[in-house]
Structure 1
Amino acid sequence: MTSNPNRRYRLGVLHGDGIGPEIVPSAVAILDAAFDAAGLDPVEWTELPLGAAAIETHGAHTPAATLEALAGLDAWLLGPHDSVSYPEPHRSQLNPSGTIRKHFQLYANIRPAKAFPGGNAVVEGTDLVIVRENTEGFYADRNTHAGTGEFMPTPDVAIAMGIITRAATERIARTAFELAQARGKKLTIVHKANVLKLTTGLFRTVCREVAADYPDVTVDDFHIDAMTMKLVRKADEFDVIVTENMFGDILSDLAGEIAGSLGIAPSVNSSDTHAMAQAAHGSAPDIAGRNVANPVAMILSSAMLLQWLAAKNDDPRLTDAARRVEDGVTATVTAGTRTRDLGGTASTTEFTDAVVAAIQAA
């Protein structure tokens, strides 16, 4: 695709619940500053209803009108949701982020964990990316075409299906190998093939088969339990990690804390045609409305979204804008302006203002 220098990007804004209405506007303000600094036309933002507020106004946490509008936008920023607090029947339904991922088949969940200098990391030098298959595995809310992969033949017996397919595994493996080629040329497959021989065994086998197409990438593999121990002590030795859905969710939370805080853990959910920025952490209702939430994860998720858009649209200006966002966050944290989870005292808005100032001064 040829870059259009006059292209104006249309991005969706889904504030979500809890701290979402605080951290998503932070990301919006910082992207606006980065677009201006990179010489891009201003973003055309479209706010859409989602979450508890949408239940009150539209009778659904993810209204059909929201999904329809998202399809016509370039990409979206999604705030965290607090679905456990929704009234029934909404609480028992597929949650908002799961609804969007499933509707648009966002099969790749890319979750970096990178330590900031002096940023409270458990393992200094951590700089890895977890590539999580996002459509099947052992997560029952998304591994079947209709309904869920859990059922109860009697009130006292509950059964969950874990589903691994060759097609989905090959797709996520190629995503991971291409990312590894662009980084440190090292990839680790995480599985539990010693016990889940057929399911995660297939995942490991297919990833190994795909490796043949990427001879410049060094490949190893570990059982999920061994991997948790290795991350705690040697996270700085890993580059790209590819795994199934549930293992990826657990490992990425662990990796985020090892890098300094789950508050700095970004992620992007994507397919070949759609992408959504979504911080890896939850809605933190206990601190909502207090202006103390760390917006870094949401900000860096938005920078990842710009990188995805840059590749999709062959637009190096977006790569420049993403770099400005990342550099602004790094400069701010390194200079000592940090929220309390990183050992500082800055409020959400104070941190946001400092990043905007860093981008403008660069």
Structure 2
Amino acid sequence: MVSSPRRVGVLTGDGIGLEVVPAAITVADAAAAAEDLRIDWDELPFGAAAIASHGEPVPDATLSALDDLGLWIVGPHDSASYPPEHSSRTPGAVLRTRYGLFANLRPAKAFSGVPATAPDIDVLIVRENSEGLYADRNMAVGSGEFMPTPDVALAVGLVTRAASERIARVAFEAARDRAVSGRPARVTIVHKANVLRLTTGLFRDACREVGEEFPDVEVTEQHVDAMAALLVRRPADFDVVVTENLFGDILSDLAGELAGSLGIAGSVNCSATQVMAQATHGAAPDIAGRGVANPVAMIASVSMGFRRYGLMTDDPALVAAADRMDSAVADTLAVSIATADLGGTSSTSEFADEVARRTVAA
């Protein structure tokens, strides 16, 4: 018997979001049905379409609906193309701030069947998502980026002990969860405390102190520049990497490309009670509407969202559906069924249909 439905928000977004989000839903519905689970997808106005219908990219109606949801999926937004009055703050920033989505989890793992620069990479970047140098996150009111003269630009970076400790605990707990089949639990703290002594020094020290609460987890440290080089040279040396906002953004993109493509890189933004699944790539307006967009990253993001929220709420059916999605994607790519960017010939929807078929056997 099908259990009571789970309600999940859908913010389709712009560009290829109109293709990859429906593709991910196709796969998620098939995986959920295989677990006797029904998902009620609550489609909400968002992005350029919401500007046309509601006068703003993230309308109050959407926020009111999300207030009552623990899990939602978000397609890419093309805020650079919005009218000037709607481009000062990105839709993602609005959602991260309102819901306190402080943790950005970005795994990078190579798939069989996908050419990868680093075929042995299997790393999780745990990125602090609420502070740092980004102007939409570093000030309580207004922007921390400003120009005292037309020829001088300044930026304020924010690091607090509380936020650093909070993200460190997410990283150490993730390392414990990933320590299976004899694999040791390892966390690498990435900083630049030799130069940014106060800000990233505080981040490093807070992470070290949290690490003392996890004696079973091996702790190492790297400066961010060395870490970038080592991810290329020795990716298998790393398991969970915890770092501040800007460093995490850069390193996760690097790791995704080393694994094969940003088109396969899933991601979730989360608090202790809510999860937003959103792929790391952009809206790619140059290929939108052609049916060639790679939906793997969006499928992987929805799977991560199912798993994260399922564990938060003690919902094993959601976790099992996520397992099916992951296995089906891996099995499909392993037999060289893929979109053109990965060397295949499948359209976005054809790939999604094949993955959905395989979720039943996963």
Determine if the TM-score, normalized by the shorter chain, exceeds 0.5. Answer: yes
Aligned to 1:133: 128
Counterpart in the other structure of 1:181? 176
Residue of structure 1 equivalent to 2:40: 44
Corresponding position of 1:78: 74
Q: Aligned partner of 1:127: which letter?
A: D
Q: Are residues 1:21 and 2:24 paired? A: no
What letter is aligned with 1:318? L
CA positional deviation for 1:8:
2.1
For structure 1, list consecutive stretches of 5 or more residues without a partner in the other structure.
none
1:87 offset after TM fit, Å? 1.0
What does residue 55 of structure 1 align with? 51
Matched, 1:10 2:7: yes
Percent of aligned pairs sharing the same letter = 58
Q: How does 1:183-262 map to 2 (within 5 A)?
A: 183-184=178-179, 185-262=185-262
Match in the other structure for 2:182:
none
In structure 1, the partner of 2:154 is 159
Residue 129 of structure 1 aligns to a residue in which SS? strand
Deviation at 1:153, TM superposition (A): 1.8
Q: Deviations over 1:302-342 (max 9, x none)?
A: 01111112111111111111000000100100011011221
Find out whether 1:337 has 2:330 as its counterpart: no
**Contact 1:9 1:74 (C-alpha < 8 Å) held by counterparts:** no
Name stretches of at least 5 consecutive residues in structure 2 with no aligned partner.
180-184
Residue 65 of structure 1 aligns with which residue?
61
Instruction: Supply the distance in 2 between the matched residues of 1:235 and 1:24 (Cα, whole angstroms).
Output: 30
* Cα RMSD for the two superposed structures: 1.1
Residues 75-116 of structure 1: per-residue CA shift (max 9 Å, x gap): 10100011111111112x210111101110100000000100
Are 2:278 and 1:278 aligned? yes
* Displacement after TM superposition at 1:156 (Å): 2.1
Give the Cα separation in 2 of the matches to 1:309 and 1:156.
47
Matched, 1:33 2:30: yes
Map Cα deviations across residues 173-206 of structure 1 (whole Å, 9 max, x no partner). 0000000111130000111111100000100011
2:106 aligned counterpart, secondary structure: strand
* Aligned partner of residue 67 in structure 1, secondary structure: helix
Distance (whole Å) between structure 1 residues aligned to residue 212 and residue 98 of structure 2: 32
**Secondary structure of the residue that 2:322 maps to in structure 1?**
helix
The correspondence for 1:88, drawn from 75, 84, 87, is 84
Whether the aligned pair in 1 keeps the contact of 2:294 and 2:348 (CA below 8 Å) is yes
> Which whole-Å CA distance do the structure 2 matches of 1:283 and 1:45 have between them?
21
Letter aligned with residue 290 of structure 2: R
**2:315 matches 1:320:** no
The alignment's TM-score, normalised by the length of structure 1, stands at 0.96
